C-alpha cells in the first residue's frame, strides 16, 4: 500500500491540482519547451542542455527541479525524429537511425506518415520505459548483474553482425563497414593506458594530432555520413526534399495506425530500449541501432528497409524513448549513471542534497520523488506529442519548399551541429571528411549504418574486452553466455547468407546488388571506380595494422590488443570486398550502370556540374566560418548562395538572409551564449 500511495502522490505532485503541483507543472512545461527545440535543432544534444540547465535548479524544490530537467531531456528524442525525417539531419545522436527509412519516406511524399509513426511509437516507448522504471527497480540488480564483461563484448559484435545485414545483399561490405567503425572508435588516447593511437602526428603535425587525442566525435560522424550526401543529392536533383506532394493529415493518421498495426514490434523494441538503457555505458545511441537491426531481422521483406519502410521508423522511435526510463533505474537505485545524461542528473541529485541509492526506494524518504520521475516522463511526452500533432501539417509542408532555399540553412545547421558538440573547428572538418566518405559510400553502394554502429559500440567493446582478458585470460571464451551469443552471431551470418542466395535466385544472375540506399544521382559510373574504392579500404586497414604492430604495440601491448583483434578480420573482409568488386567490374565491362542510374532523368554532365558546384559551396561555407567566424560567415554565406548559387531574386535573398542571421544570432549567440570564436583573419590582424 505504501508503494501505491507514493505512486499516486507522485502524480498529484506534478499536476496543477495543488500549489506544489502547479509549480512543478510550470517548470515541466518550461523544460518541455526547451527540449522541444533542442531536439529539433541538430548538434546541441539533450546532455548539453541538461548541463546548461543545472545552474537554474539551486533554489527549486526537488520535484520542480527534476520536472524541469527531465521535462527537457525526455522529449529530445521525440522531436529529434522530426529533423531526421524531414531533412535527413539527426536532431539528436540517438535519432540517427530514423534517417535510414524516415527520410526516404519524406522524399516519397510520406513525411506525414513517417512523422505520425515516429511520434506515436515514441509515445508508446516513453510510457513503456516509464512503467519499466516503476516496476523494475526492485529487480534492477539481477538484470544488470546477469551479464559480465565477456558477454558485453560479444553483444557488441552481435550488434555489428545484425546491422551488417543492412548491406544491400552484400554481408561482406556490411561487416567491413562495421569493423571500420570499431577501428575509428580507437582513434585517440587508449582508454586503459592513455597511449595515443592513430593520431597521425607524423602526417598532420603536433597540433591536429592533439585534437585527435579526444577521439572522433559521434555527432560529427553522424552529421557528415548522413546529412552531407543528402544535401548534395538535394542540390543535384534541383527539387524539394519531397519528390511528390506531401500528404495531408490522413498521412499522419496512417502513421499512427502503423504503430498499432505493428504493435508487437513496437512493444519488443520498447523492451529492447529499456533493457539497453539499464546497462551502464550503453545508452540510446546503441538502443536505436539494436532496435533497427531487430526490425530488419524480424521482417519477411528486408528489401524495403533503407527505401522507406515504416517499421524502420517505428522500432528506433520506440527504443529511443523507452531508454529514457531504463537508464534512470541504475542511477536512482544504485547511484550508477548509465549514460551522459544520467551522469548530469546525478549532479542534480547532489545539488538538491539527495544521495541516489536505497533512500530513493524508501517510502519514508524519497520514494514519492522517484515515482514522480515516472509521471514526468509520461506527461512530458504526452504534451510534446499532442503539440507536434497540432503542427505536423505545417512541419511536413517544409519538404515541399524548393531545395535551393533550404540548402544554406541546412548547411548552417550541419556546421552548427558539428561545432557545438565540442566547440571545435576540428569537428566541422570531421563533418566534411565523413561527408565525403558518406557520399562515396552512397555512390558505390556501401551501407553507412554499420559504420556508425561500430563507432557507437567501439569503446564499449574495447573496455569489456580488456576487462575480460585481464580477469579471465582466454577462459572467458568458454563462458556459457559467450558461447550462446557466438551461436547467435553465427546464426545471423548463416541466415543472412541464405537470404542473399534466395534473393539472387529470385532476381536471376544479374550480379549487381540491390542498394538499400535511397536513390541518389550516381556520378561515378565507370566500372573501374568500384574496385578502386574497395582498394582504398584495404589500404586504410593495412596502414592501421602497420601502425598497431610497429608504433602502438612497442609502447603498450594492451593498447594494441583491440585494434589487432578487429583489424585483422576486417582487413580480410576488405580484401574479399575488393575481389568481389573486381569480379563485378570484369563481368560487366563498360556497362556498369545500376538501377539507380537508370531512374535518373539528368544527363551525366549536369549531374557532374551540380555535384562539383554544391561541393564547392559546402567547403566554402566552412572556409568562411574559419576565416571570419560564424557571426559574419552566416549572413554572408547565405546571401552569396541564394544570389549567386541559386539565382534567387533580391527580395527573397535579402529576406531569407536576414531571417537566417536573426535565427542564428538570437538563439545560439544571444540566448544560449555559445562561445563562437573569432575568425582566423581577425586573429592574424591582432
3-state secondary structure 626-670: HHHEHHHHHHHHHHHHHHHHCCCCHHHHHHHHHHHHHHHHHHHHH
Q: Is 622's pLDDT higher than 90? A: yes
Provide the pLDDT confidence category of residue 165 given band limits of 50, 70 and 90. low
Predicted local distance difference test score (pLDDT) of residue 655: 95
Calculate Rg over the CA atoms of the chain: 25
Per-residue pLDDT tens digits for 438-452: 999 988 888 887 887
At residue 307's C-alpha, the angle toward residues 302 and 311, to 5°, is 60
- Cβ neighbours, 10 Å, residue 626: 16
What does the block give as the cell for 479? 563462458
DSSP lists the bridge partners of residue 188 as 197
* Average confidence (pLDDT) over 243-269: 78
- Cβ neighbours, 10 Å, residue 484: 12
Residue with more model confidence, 108 or 520:
108
* Average confidence (pLDDT) over 164-169: 57
Return d(Cα 158, Cα 156) in angstroms, integer: 5
* Average confidence (pLDDT) over 157-174: 73
3-state secondary structure of 189: strand
Per-residue pLDDT tens digits for 369-414: 888 888 888 898 898 888 888 877 776 666 667 878 888 988 988 8
Provide the pLDDT confidence category of residue 141 given band limits of 50, 70 and 90. very low
Predicted local distance difference test score (pLDDT) of residue 535: 95
Predicted local distance difference test score (pLDDT) of residue 560: 92
Per-residue pLDDT tens digits for 429-438: 999 999 999 9
DSSP secondary structure letter of residue 188: E
Distance of CA 171 to the CA centre of its chain: 22
Predicted local distance difference test score (pLDDT) of residue 170: 80
* Average confidence (pLDDT) over 467-480: 90
Ramachandran assignment for 88, one of left (phi > 0), alpha (psi -120 to 50 degrees), beta (any other): left
DSSP secondary structure letter of residue 549: I
DSSP secondary structure letter of residue 550: I
Return d(Cα 511, Cα 488) in angstroms, integer: 29
Provide the pLDDT confidence category of residue 454 given band limits of 50, 70 and 90. confident
Alpha helix segments (H runs only) across 527-629: 529-547, 553-555, 561-588, 595-599, 604-628
Place of cell 531481422: 297
What does the block give as the cell for 564? 589487432
Q: Is 628's pLDDT higher than 90? A: yes
Alpha helix segments (H runs only) across 364-479: 367-397, 403-422, 425-443, 449-472
Return d(Cα 487, Cα 507) in angstroms, integer: 30
21 half-sphere exposure, CB direction, 13 A CA radius: 14
C-alpha distances (whole Å) from 126 to each of 75, 76, 120, 326 are: 9, 12, 10, 10
Return d(Cα 332, Cα 373) in angstroms, integer: 10
Q: Which residue from 12, 1, 51, 86 is spatially nearest to 420, judged by alpha carbons? A: 51
Predicted local distance difference test score (pLDDT) of residue 611: 92
Q: Is 304's pLDDT higher than 60? A: yes
Amino acid at each position: 500500500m505504501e508503494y501505491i500511495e507514493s505512486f499516486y502522490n507522485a502524480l498529484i505532485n506534478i499536476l496543477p491540482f495543488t500549489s506544489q503541483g502547479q509549480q512543478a507543472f510550470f517548470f515541466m512545461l518550461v523544460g518541455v519547451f526547451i527540449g522541444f527545440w533542442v531536439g529539433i535543432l541538430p548538434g546541441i544534444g539533450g546532455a548539453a542542455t541538461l548541463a546548461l540547465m543545472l545552474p537554474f535548479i539551486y533554489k527549486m524544490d526537488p520535484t520542480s527541479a527534476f520536472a524541469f530537467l527531465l521535462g527537457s531531456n525526455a522529449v529530445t528524442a521525440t522531436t529529434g525524429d522530426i529533423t531526421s525525417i524531414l531533412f535527413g539531419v539527426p536532431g539528436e545522436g540517438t535519432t540517427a537511425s530514423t534517417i535510414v527509412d524516415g527520410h526516404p519516406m519524406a522524399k516519397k511524399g510520406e513525411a506525414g506518415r513517417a512523422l505520425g509513426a515516429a511520434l506515436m511509437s515514441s509515445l508508446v516507448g516513453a510510457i513503456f520505459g516509464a512503467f519499466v522504471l516503476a516496476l523494475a527497480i526492485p529487480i534492477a540488480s539481477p538484470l544488470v548483474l546477469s551479464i559480465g564483461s565477456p558477454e558485453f563484448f560479444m553483444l557488441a559484435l552481435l550488434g555489428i553482425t545484425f546491422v551488417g545485414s543492412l548491406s544491400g545483399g552484400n554481408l561482406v561490405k556490411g561487416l567491413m563497414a562495421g569493423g571500420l567503425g570499431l577501428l575509428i572508435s580507437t582513434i585517440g588516447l587508449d582508454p586503459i593506458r592513455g597511449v595515443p593511437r592513430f593520431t597521425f602526428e607524423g602526417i598532420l603535425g603536433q597540433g591536429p594530432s592533439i585534437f585527435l587525442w579526444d577521439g572522433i566525435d559521434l555527432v560529427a560522424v553522424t552529421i557528415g555520413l548522413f546529412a552531407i550526401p543528402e544535401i548534395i543529392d538535394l542540390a543535384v536533383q534541383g527539387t524539394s526534399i519531397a519528390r511528390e506532394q506531401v500528404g495531408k493529415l490522413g498521412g499522419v493518421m496512417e502513421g499512427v495506425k502503423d504503430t498499432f498495426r505493428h504493435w508487437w514490434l513496437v512493444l519488443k523494441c520498447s523492451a529492447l530500449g529499456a533493457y539497453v538503457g539499464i546497462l551502464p555505458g550503453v545508452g540510446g545511441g546503441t538502443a536505436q541501432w539494436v532496435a533497427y537491426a531487430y526490425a530488419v531481422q524480424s521482417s519477411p521483406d528486408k528489401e524495403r528497409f533503407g527505401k522507406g519502410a515504416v517499421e524502420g521508423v517505428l522500432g528506433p522511435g520506440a527504443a529511443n524513448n523507452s531508454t529514457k526510463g531504463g537508464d534512470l533505474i541504475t542511477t536512482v537505485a544504485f547511484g550508477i549513471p548509465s549514460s551522459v545524461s544520467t551522469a548530469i542528473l546525478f549532479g542534480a541529485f547532489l545539488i538538491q542534497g539527495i544521495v541516489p541509492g536505497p533512500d530513493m526506494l524508501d517510502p519514508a524518504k524519497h520514494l514519492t520523488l522517484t515515482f514522480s520521475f515516472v509521471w514526468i516522463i509520461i506527461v512530458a511526452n504526452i504534451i510534446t506529442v499532442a503539440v507536434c500533432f497540432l503542427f505536423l501539417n505545417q512541419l511536413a509542408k517544409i519538404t515541399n519548399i524548393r531545395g535551393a532555399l533550404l540548402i544554406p540553412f541546412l548547411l548552417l545547421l550541419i556546421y552548427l551541429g558539428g561545432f557545438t558538440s565540442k566547440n571545435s573547428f576540428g569537428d566541422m572538418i570531421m563533418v566534411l571528411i565523413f561527408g565525403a566518405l558518406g557520399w562515396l559510400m552512397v555512390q558505390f553502394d556501401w551501407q553507412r549504418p554499420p559504420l556508425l554502429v561500430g563507432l557507437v559500440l567501439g569503446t564499449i567493446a574495447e573496455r569489456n574486452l580488456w576487462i575480460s582478458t585481464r580477469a579471465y585470460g582466454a577462459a572467458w571464451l568458454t563462458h556459457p553466455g559467450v558461447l550462446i551469443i557466438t551461436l547467435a552471431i553465427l546464426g545471423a551470418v548463416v541466415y543472412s547468407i541464405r537470404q542473399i542466395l534466395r534473393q539472387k535466385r529470385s532476381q536471376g544472375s544479374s550480379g549487381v546488388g540491390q542498394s538499400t540506399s535511397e536513390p541518389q544521382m550516381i556520378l561515378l559510373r565507370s566500372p573501374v571506380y568500384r574496385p578502386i574504392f574497395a582498394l582504398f579500404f584495404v589500404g586504410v586497414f593495412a596502414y592501421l595494422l602497420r601502425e598497431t604492430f610497429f608504433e602502438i604495440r612497442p609502447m603498450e601491448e594492451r593498447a594494441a590488443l583491440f585494434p589487432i583483434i578487429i583489424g585483422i578480420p576486417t582487413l580480410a573482409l576488405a580484401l574479399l570486398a575488393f575481389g568481389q568488386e573486381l569480379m563485378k567490374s570484369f563481368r560487366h565491362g563498360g556497362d556498369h550502370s545500376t538501377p539507380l542510374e537508370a531512374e535518373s532523368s539528368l544527363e551525366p554532365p549536369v549531374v557532374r556540374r551540380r555535384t562539383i558546384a554544391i561541393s564547392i559551396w559546402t567547403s566554402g561555407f566552412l572556409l568562411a566560418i574559419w576565416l571570419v567566424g560564424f557571426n559574419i560567415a552566416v549572413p554572408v554565406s547565405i546571401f552569396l548562395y541564394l544570389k549567386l548559387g541559386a539565382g534567387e531574386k533580391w527580395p527573397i535573398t535579402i529576406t531569407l538572409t536576414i531571417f537566417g542571421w536573426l535565427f542564428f544570432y538570437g538563439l545560439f549567440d544571444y540566448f544560449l551564449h555559445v562561445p563562437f570564436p573569432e575568425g582566423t583573419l581577425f586573429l592574424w590582424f591582432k
